[in-house]
Amino acid sequence: MANIWEWLSQYTDARVGIPRHGVSQSTEAQLKFQLDHAKARDAVWAELDFVWLAEQLPMDSIAIQSQAQSRSQYLTRPDLGRKLNSDSSNRVAGLEKTQVAIVIADGLSTTAISAGITELFSELKKLESISYKSQKLFLAEQARVALGDEIGELLEAELCIMIIGERPGLSASDSIGIYLTYEPRIGKSDANRNCISNIRPGGLTPKEACFKMNYLINEFYHRGLSGVTIKDLSDEILISDDGVSKLENKD
């Protein structure tokens, strides 16, 4: 029977055709599940080394913290993860006004950031849509997506690019998400943002993600807003440019 399920697994990553002993899963399948869960749990709970992170990036950065003081508080109080602590808020308020705030945040997967940020950031540095704009880079600890709104408000920024570790799944614990908000201000909702998700080995590549980002940012400036009314049509552009879609969903 193994062959049938091997053949079927081309259609889905679901855990189908698990060998059975009595009514129970094989030892191998059970331990594979435990291994994947362990990776996902570690991705949530591992501390991100922000000093190390700053050294990896080819641009000066500013370290900031949310009001969540520990990982467990971060998990139970999402409201605190959306606000700067007073020290960080003073620091950001003292900076000169900036057009683009780039924030790298631990989010719910610290391993996603530590594993994937270097390559993603070097692609991001090539973005044409923001190349002539003033930029500042923040490294944010215990942060939720909406923390970028407060930073944006203090800097009177035109755009916030929030790069954050996504909630780990069992199959992928190392996904990065990018949330883009035009005119980021306190009180903006998720409907005001555009998200590029699933950036990881086996998912969206940093190059593909930045292509989408460039498209979306140009649309924001063109239309003067971001959010649900902006549709990501970058895939179609890629297809029409060279006749081959590099950004097809992998399924």
Residue from 75, 95, 195, 239 that binds other proteins (CB under 8 A)?
A: 75
The CA–CA distances, whole Å, from 251 to 3, 13, 136, 138, 212 equal: 20, 8, 37, 35, 19
User: Residue 36 or residue 123: which is nearer to other proteins going by CB?
Assistant: 36
Name the amino acid, one letter, at 190. D
CA 46/CA 104 separation, integer angstroms: 16
Amino acid residing at 221: Y
Single-letter code of the amino acid located at 202: G
* Nearest distance from C-beta of residue 117 to other proteins, angstroms: 20
What are the CA-CA distances from residue 208 to residues 66, 154, 214, 215, 245 (Å)?
30, 31, 10, 11, 11
Of 96-135, binders to other proteins (CB under 8 A) are 108
- Residue from 2, 12, 55, 222 touching other proteins (CB under 8 A): that is 12
Q: Is 173 in the site for other proteins (CB under 8 A)?
A: yes
Q: How far apart are CA 55 and CA 159, in angstroms?
A: 25
Q: Which two tokens stand for residue 133?
A: 């704009």
To the nearest 10°, report the CA torsion of 68, 70, 75, 76.
Answer: -70
**Three-state secondary structure call for residue 106:** coil
- C-alpha span between 115 and 41 (Å, rounded): 16
In the complex, least distance from residue 208 CB atom to other proteins, rounded to whole angstroms? 16
Does 2 contact other proteins by CB under 8 A?
Answer: no
Which residues are registered as beta bridge partners of 196? Answer: 178
Give the span between the Cα atoms of 93 and 111, in whole angstroms: 30
Which position among 27, 31, 41, 237 is part of the footprint of other proteins (CB under 8 A)?
41
Would you count residue 199 as binding other proteins (CB under 8 A)? no
Instruction: Compare residues 78 and 97 and give the one whose CB is closer to other proteins.
Output: 78
Out of 91, 125, 133, 167, point to the residue binding other proteins (CB under 8 A). Answer: 167
**Contact with other proteins (CB under 8 A) among 76, 90, 131, 189:** 76
CB of 96 to other proteins, least distance (A): 36
Radius of gyration, alpha carbons of the chain: 20
Residue 20 touches other proteins, criterion: CB under 8 A: yes
Complex with other proteins: residue 1 or 244, whichever CB lies closer: 1
Considering only 6, 28, 47, 79, the residue that binds other proteins (CB under 8 A) is 79
Size of the site for other proteins (CB under 8 A): 40
Q: Is 25 in the site for other proteins (CB under 8 A)?
A: yes
Q: Verify binding: residue 239, other proteins, rule CB under 8 A.
A: no
Interface ranges with other proteins (CB under 8 A): 1, 4, 8-9, 11-18, 20, 22-25, 29, 33-34, 36-37, 40-41, 43-44, 75-79, 108, 167-171, 173, 249, 251
